[in-house]
Amino acid sequence: MRHLPIVLSLSAALVLSAGVLPAAAQQTKAGDLVIVQPWSRATPGGAKVAGGFLVIENKGAAADTLVGGATGVAAKVEVHEMAVTNGVMTMRELDKGLPIAAGQSVTLKPGGYHIMFTGLKQPLKEGDKVPVTLQFARAGNVDVVFDVRGVGAKDVGTKDAGTKDAGGAHPHK
């Protein structure tokens, strides 16, 4: 009986840690950068573009810049920004990349900054794992895997349909 509280505490710790393991598995460290939960949306057949989303944390003392990337599922991997100015939504490639200031993080999400996969060679299907090499000015090439969520996913782990924000198969180029 004396060991029962310890056994219960260890059991509770194991149960609680099981909930954190998937999130930890979706982190990639590259030098001072930590890339968290990269994901994309499933695309309908014939779609030529898809969006990619993630969080980039810069734990270092020097800024870095996400400048692009490469993947086997698309002809190009570009960094884009979506913004609403005077009620008009615009999207553009960030020709000089996306800066990540020292000690800061940047969230690439639907309706804002995002990765644009152009020239898709095949549709992205829910459940797919898409290997992508992200290119940073300082950290260099970083290999990550994007989890493909449902067509209307709004954020990692959600499967909400019918959204009209960035990503998925929105018209571009």
Over the stretch 96-130, which tens digit does the pLDDT of each residue have? 999 999 999 999 999 999 999 999 999 999 999 99
Residue found under tokens 């970083």:
142
Domains of the chain: 28-149 (2.60.40.1890)
Whole-angstrom Cα distance, residue 41 to residue 56? 19
DSSP class per residue in 59-109? -SSS-EEEEEEEETTEEEEEEEEEEEETTEEEEEE-TT-EEE-TT-EEEE-
Cut 0.85: pTM above it:
no
Distance linking the first and last C-alpha atoms of the chain: 69
Coil, strand or helix at 122:
coil
User: Span 134-162, mean pLDDT?
Assistant: 78
131 or 153: which leads in pLDDT: 131
Confidence band (pLDDT; 50, 70, 90) for 83?
Answer: confident
Confidence band (pLDDT; 50, 70, 90) for 84?
Answer: confident
- Return the structure tokens found at 62: 């020097």
- Return the structure tokens found at 152: 């209307």
Whole-angstrom Cα distance, residue 90 to residue 72? 28
Over the stretch 11-63, which tens digit does the pLDDT of each residue have? 333 333 333 334 344 899 999 999 999 999 999 988 999 999 999 999 999 99
